[in-house]
């Protein structure tokens, strides 16, 4: 048993398959170089102590027996429920001090909640010498996300654990690496924080009014994801870009586009990107543009002129790992 460990996991960007992946369709997601790290330390008192300054949580303390009960600070929810679920499954029954530190803002929609959940579960497994496979970590982390959000596909959990670029089907039914040497993405942040749960609910309400139409959209998004997987394997990035543009049209039909996203997306396309679309829940957060190397500067400048903030990201990076 170790006294202390630091674990880190990457953020993520959805390439194709948003919204449809909640309803048993595939998606493609890539892990990004900005990482979230969590330091865990055993303490004598049977409490959870949490410092997560990035999300405004300081001096948070709760008895192990009270985890998941009463008021839970928004920034503490995922860490607290991860500790609770791990404790219930593996009976660690030991106090733990946790400190989180992120290289990216939780505003970006890079999946900080899932990354922190994964780090906590991996860290607890290391400290208490419990052998967990990546799928074991996925199952526990995904359950934690469902306990809090009620709905979700788990793709961001998978990206944090496995890293790289993944072909993923709802709930982890398929988690398959896609071998990609390069993924030249330009990322633009809208400056608007998207509320994933609210947007998923809004689309679900639309589906209740037009079930056949929305299911047809999900079916077509699924076909685009399958075609993108083939295009990646064939290394035909212009085709991937074209499929991204198709997918953006479907997301607009679902009602999760916005004027700000559209301005950035069309600016990127006009400046030479192979394809551009929103990434994530929609309305805000980020857009992505798959861009030839010789057009990157033009696309970045176009996104900036359209009111976006360019975020430098490395893609296709390593998943969860022990740092020290």
With contact defined as beta carbons under 8 Å apart, do 14 and 280 qualify? yes
Q: What is the pTM of this model?
A: 0.92
On the question of pLDDT at 272 being above 90, the answer is: yes
**In 30-133, where does DSSP find H-type helix?**
77-90, 112-127
Residues 6+ apart with CB under 8 A from 45: 95
Closest C-alpha to 144, from 194, 95, 60, 88: 88
Report the C-alpha gap between 207 and 229 in whole angstroms.
27
Interval 287-324: pLDDT, tens: 999 999 999 999 999 999 999 999 999 998 999 999 98
Fold of domain 4-179+316-322: Ribosomal Protein S5; domain 2 (3.30.230)
On the question of pLDDT at 163 being above 80, the answer is: yes
What are the sequence ranges of the domains in the chain?
A: 4-179+316-322, 185-311
**192-204 b/e with 16+ CB inside 10 Å = b?**
eebebeebbebbe
Neighbours of 179 (CB within 10 A): 10
Q: How much is the pLDDT for 197?
A: 78
Closest C-alpha to 287, from 22, 18, 10: 18
Report the C-alpha gap between 324 and 300 in whole angstroms.
36
Element (H, E) at 156: helix 155-162
Indicate the pLDDT class of residue 117, thresholds 50, 70 and 90.
very high
Q: Could you give the residue numbers annotated as active site?
A: 156
Q: How much is the pLDDT for 177?
A: 96
Fold of domain 185-311: Alpha-Beta Plaits (3.30.70)
Instruction: Give the bridge partners for 176, in sequence order.
Output: 167
Q: How much is the pLDDT for 193?
A: 82
């Amino acid at each position: 048993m170790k006294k202390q460990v630091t674990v880190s996991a990457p953020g993520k960007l959805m390439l194709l398959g948003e919204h449809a992946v909640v309803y048993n369709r595939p998606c493609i997601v890539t892990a990004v170089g900005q990482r979230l790290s969590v330091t865990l330390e055993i303490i004598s008192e049977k409490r959870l102590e949490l410092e997560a300054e990035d999300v405004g949580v300081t001096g948070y303390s709760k008895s192990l027996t009270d985890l998941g009960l009463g008021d839970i600070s928004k920034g503490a929810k995922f860490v607290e429920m991860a500790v609770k679920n791990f404790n219930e499954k593996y009976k660690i029954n030991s106090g733990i001090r946790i400190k989180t530190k992120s290289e990216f803002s939780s505003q970006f929609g890079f999946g900080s909640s899932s990354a922190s959940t994964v780090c906590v579960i991996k860290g607890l497994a290391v400290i208490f010498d419990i052998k967990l496979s990546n799928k074991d970590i996925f199952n526990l982390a995904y359950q934690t996300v469902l306990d809090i959000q009620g709905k979700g596909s788990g793709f961001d959990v998978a990206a944090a654990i496995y890293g790289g670029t993944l072909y993923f089907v709802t709930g982890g039914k398929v988690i398959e690496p896609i071998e990609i040497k390069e993924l030249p993405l330009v990322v633009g942040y809208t400056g608007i924080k998207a509320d994933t749960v609210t947007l998923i609910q809004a689309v679900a309400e639309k589906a209740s009014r037009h079930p056949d139409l929305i299911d047809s959209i999900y079916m077509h998004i699924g076909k685009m994801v399958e075609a993108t997987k083939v295009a990646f394997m064939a290394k035909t990035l212009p085709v991937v870009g074209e499929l991204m543009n198709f997918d953006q049209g479907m997301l607009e039909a679902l009602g999760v586009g916005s004027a700000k996203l559209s301005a950035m997306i069309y600016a990127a396309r006009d400046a030479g990107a192979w394809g551009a679309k929103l990434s994530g829940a929609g309305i805000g957060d980020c857009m992505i543009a798959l861009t030839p190397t010789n057009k990157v500067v033009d696309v970045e400048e176009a996104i900036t002129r359209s009111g976006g903030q360019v975020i430098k990201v490395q893609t296709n990076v390593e998943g969860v790992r022990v740092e020290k």
